[in-house]
């Protein structure tokens, strides 16, 4: 299916950057995991088990954020100065502290 989409886009003279495609794919995978977890919660129909499923999702979100940001930064590494790269890294660290701090 991925090849069909790429062929269709090439015919329309649009080429998707591989890094952008990877970042979008990670986000789609993350969204699919979230939807599957919600369906699993409904199927289990027990609060304690739903909380376990929900707790496991707390790890997925930050991991996807780190992965997509890292991939994006690798793609921009030749265009970013070292000082800007450091500022982006500091910003991501601040986001992670804000997300994970209780």
Q: Residue 16, by phi and psi: left (phi above 0), alpha (psi -120 to 50) or beta? A: beta
Instruction: State the SS3 of 37-94.
Output: HHHHHHHHCCHHHHHHHHHHHHHHHHHHHHHHHHHHHHHHCCCCCHHHHHHHHHHHHH
Q: Using 50, 70 and 90 to split pLDDT, how confident is the model at 39?
A: very high
Q: Calculate ∠ Cα 63-58-87, nearest 5°.
A: 45
The 10s digit of each residue's pLDDT in 45-76 is 999 999 999 988 888 888 898 899 889 888 88
The pTM of this model reads: 0.67
């Amino acid at each position: 299916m991925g090849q069909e989409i790429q062929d269709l886009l090439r015919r329309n003279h649009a080429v998707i950057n591989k890094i952008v495609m990877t970042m979008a794919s990670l986000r789609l995978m993350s969204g699919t995991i979230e939807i599957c977890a919600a369906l699993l919660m409904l199927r289990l129909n027990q609060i304690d088990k739903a909380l376990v499923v929900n707790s496991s999702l707390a790890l997925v979100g930050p991991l996807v954020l780190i992965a997509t940001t890292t991939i994006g930064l690798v793609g921009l590494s030749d265009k970013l100065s070292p000082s800007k790269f450091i500022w982006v890294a500091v910003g991501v660290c601040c986001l992670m502290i804000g997300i994970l701090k209780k």
